[in-house]
Amino acid sequence: MRSALNLAHNDENIGTADDPTLLKQAMVRVAEVQDRESFQFLFSYFAPRVKAVLLKAGSNESQAEDLMQDVMMTVWRKAKLYAPDRGSVNAWVFTVARNARIDLLRRASSRPYDDVYEIEMESDVASGEDEMFATERAERVSEALSELPEEQRQIIELGFIEDMSQSEIAEKLGLPLGTVKSRMRLAYGKMKSKLEAVR
């Protein structure tokens, strides 16, 4: 049986590497028999795309290259975890890339809010590449939040993480409602420039 790479090169009626069916066939062969030619096909298709997205998301050249290599090795080792009936190969590979970048950032950063915002932002993404940019947006939100004064950050956390109203926040903290509103306005103002950069 010819590999997906041979099919892509030799059968014009099969389609190009952008064909989701062809990518899926290659992934299945890697998962089932560790077909190296099919993996080379996947590598040739995804490696430059993964690296480009990592660069756009803020990694430097060296980090992007190293992460891309790690991502593709994970694709090779964990191909059996890909479930064809649950999504595209594209989405699966870029999820691997997103997770690799998150792991790198967690090792390099002690910011305490990444998990909350990664989870919140992931619900909005529609494709594999979009997931990478959602992660970048989450990181910027986390950074902006961490730079707020404690009294402002506390109010934002209560409002958005614990889903409390301004009145409930005022009662919980023993503050006048006007003070809560004022601190929330100030917090929004300080976060605005960072949040606008990722819209």
**Residue 139, Cβ neighbours under 10 Å: how many?**
23
Angle at CA of residue 17, ends 14 and 18, nearest 5°: 100
How does pLDDT run across 43-60, given as a tens digit for each residue?
A: 999 999 999 988 887 788
How does pLDDT run across 154-197, given as a tens digit for each residue?
A: 888 787 666 678 888 899 999 998 999 888 888 877 776 665 55
In CATH, what number does 4-146 get?
Answer: 1.10.1740.10
Q: Is 33 exposed, middle or buried (0-12, 13-18, 19+ CB in 10 A)?
A: exposed
The tokens describing 62, both together, are 């060296």
Hey, which CATH number is domain 147-189, 3.40.50.300, 3.40.50.1820, 1.10.10.10, 3.40.50.720?
1.10.10.10
Tell me what the mean pLDDT of segment 83-112 comes to.
78
Q: Which of 135, 147, 162, 150 is nearest to 192 (CA)?
A: 147
Highest mean pLDDT among 12-16, 95-99, 106-110: 95-99
Strand, coil or helix: 19:
coil
* Domain chopping of the chain, boundaries: 4-146, 147-189
| pTM as predicted | 0.51
**Residue 185, Cβ neighbours under 10 Å: how many?**
11
